[in-house]
Chains A and B, each alone.
Chain A
Amino acid sequence: MAISLSKGGNVSLSKEEPGLDEITIGLGWDVRATDGKAFDLDASAFLLSVSGKVRSDSDFVFYNNLTTAGGAVNHQGDNRTGAGEGDDEQIKITLSKMPADVDKVAIVVTIHEADKNGQSFGQVSNAYIRLANEKSGKEVVRYDLSEDASVETAMILGEVYRHGTDWKFRAVGQGYKGGLGLLAMNYGVNIG
């Protein structure tokens, strides 16, 4: 059973999951059953330095840039409809491979072209994002987007961050107006 974190709540990953090295971020949702534009949810990650910004544009891991930092973060590929069982998109993070100047990894979920299509998480069935121990499969946190972020189109799930030699996770669960582009800009990515 996943720990239920309130917004801003912290959990020590090393304490909660001793020996944790590989993290899976899982994003899942149901294929649209009604007629209309498919729901295309995207999971993305930003590798941030102590300044809270990316070191370079390649630290933005998303559907057009699947891997970075020598394989410390790997996006498993874009899913545009939600078809398939279990997680529909995954990002795998290997903590031991993380470059020393990466202080934290922010994980976000967005709906592609949400404004254009008038979509929000509440219209999507069974949309969730979760963070789990890749090896044991144990979930550390899980967020129900359909229910608890119903009017949002983008959300910062949380941050995996260094705390001394420890890695912690801070649940943010904060909705965000403006989509992936604006998020990326705020994290210092040059959007062309």
Chain B
Amino acid sequence: MQLQRGEKRSLSNLGIGSKCSVKVDFGLDGVDITAFGLNQAKQIGDDRYVVLFSNIRSPEGAIQINSYSDTATFDIDLNLLPDVIQRIVFTATHDTRPVSQALSLIVKLDGNKATFNVAEHLTTEKAVMMLELYRHSGEWKVGTIAAGFDDGLPALIAHFGGTVADTPASMPTSDAMPGVPSVAPAPVSLKKITLEKSSPTVSLKKTAATFGEIVVHLNWNQAKGRRALFRAPKNIDLDLGVLYELNTDGRGVIQSLGNAFGCYDNNPWIELSGDDRTGATTGETIRVNGKYFDRIKRIAVFALIYDGVPNWQQTDGIVCMNIPGQPEIEVRMTEGRNDYRLCGIAIIENVGRELRIQRHMQYYRDQQDFADDIGIYLRWKAGRKD
């Protein structure tokens, strides 16, 4: 059945049990779907119950998300939820655009037992509460909401009693050009530029003589919360690497495989900081010496599942690129192809002394396929980590 806005019904009335699914389909790139587990006061009491692409599972597994570029599905087991979690509010947010542009935006409860068309009720909100599941008089109910905040995620978080570190209340909401970074540097995630299909290129005009140090960082799920009783968690070994091409004919690959770590202070002025085999510490980092950026023609960033079954959804991999004085740029590996081990992420190009970052979310069998595809031709031989 189709639910109206504001409608409240008990789940049992809809034939929905304690184990159910909440599926959200959306037609706008860059929409983030989140489930907020809230306490009696409708506030976030415990961050672990905020389930989204970067925290895919509540501690006991009562709320789990599988997210893709145009849909997100939550598997819910209400009986597992601790009493302190009184409701789960499902939200849709976008950094720069009204969620109403996500035509359509539909929530489906447990298959098609109940559906709710959210977008038709929206206007200019950039953060929207779509629907909630909540405890009421000893049972679970569903309530549709379709209301939110023009000021987006910060306003939503504030509504839930959370704080967004160091984000000024007057954060420009007119930040309508997703590709153009604002001036203030900010380490907060909310200021991040996310390279999505809709805005695949970011151009960073050279502000001073050099770019300083360009840092490319890869982090991924550390198999947390996956401690099974009878088997050890299978850590995923994800490698960060780059293919590079210099203006003066040099080209190569930098990766932990074959100990090709590169060099920061000498040709090729790109260096990998070491090999993190579990993601448990700090992930992997590649630094590019901006002082010599004029010698570099382009850098192609990739991530590689070296060990373990390729399962990109499970990695929750996020690559962040930091350039001093610029907001962080991030690319998420959400649309994985599980039969391919290598994920091309972005290409950083030097176009007439202007640094340009292009999203390149494509999956390949290996480094050679990637290199051939983008025209960096190298001679390859098989290698293995020791």
Taking Cβ atoms with an 8 Å cutoff, the residues of A that contact B are: 33-36, 118-124, 146-147, 150-151
Contacts and interface: CB of A to CB of B under 8 A. Distances in A.
Nearest to A147: B8
B8 A150 contact: yes
Q: For the side of the interface on B, what is the size category?
A: 20 to 34
A151 B6 contact: yes
A36 B7 contact: no
A140 B35 CA distance: 39
B364 to A, nearest CB: 44
A140 B148 CA distance: 36
Interface in B122-164: 123-125, 129, 136, 141, 143-145, 147-150, 159
B6 A33 contact: no
Contacts of B224: none
Contacts of B159: 33-34
Contacts of B197: none
Given A34-B149, A35-B148, A151-B7, A122 B129 contact: no
A36 B143 CA distance: 19
A150 B129 contact: no
A147 B136 CA distance: 9
Given A34-B147, A34-B149, A119 B125 contact: no
Nearest to B147: A34
B205 interface: no
Contacts of A33: 159
Interface of B: 4-8, 121, 123-125, 129, 136, 141, 143-145, 147-150, 159
A66 B147 CA distance: 33
Given A34-B129, A35-B149, A146-B8, 12 more contacts: A33-B159, A34-B148, A35-B124, A35-B150, A120-B6, A122-B8, A122-B143, A122-B144, A123-B145, A150-B6, A150-B7, A151-B7
A75 to B, nearest CB: 26
Contacts of A150: 6-8, 143
Name, among B8, B129, B159, the residue most crowded by chain A CB atoms within 10 Å (CB to CB).
Answer: B8
14 contacts: A34-B129, A34-B148, A34-B159, A35-B124, A35-B125, A35-B149, A36-B123, A120-B4, A120-B5, A120-B7, A121-B6, A122-B7, A123-B5, A123-B147
Contacts of B129: 34
Nearest to B150: A35
Contacts of A120: 4-7
A79 to B, nearest CB: 20
A34 to B, nearest CB: 4
B147 A36 contact: yes
B107 to A, nearest CB: 16
Nearest to B143: A122
Contacts of B147: 34-36, 123
B288 to A, nearest CB: 42
B268 to A, nearest CB: 50
A124 B143 CA distance: 11
Contacts of B143: 122, 150
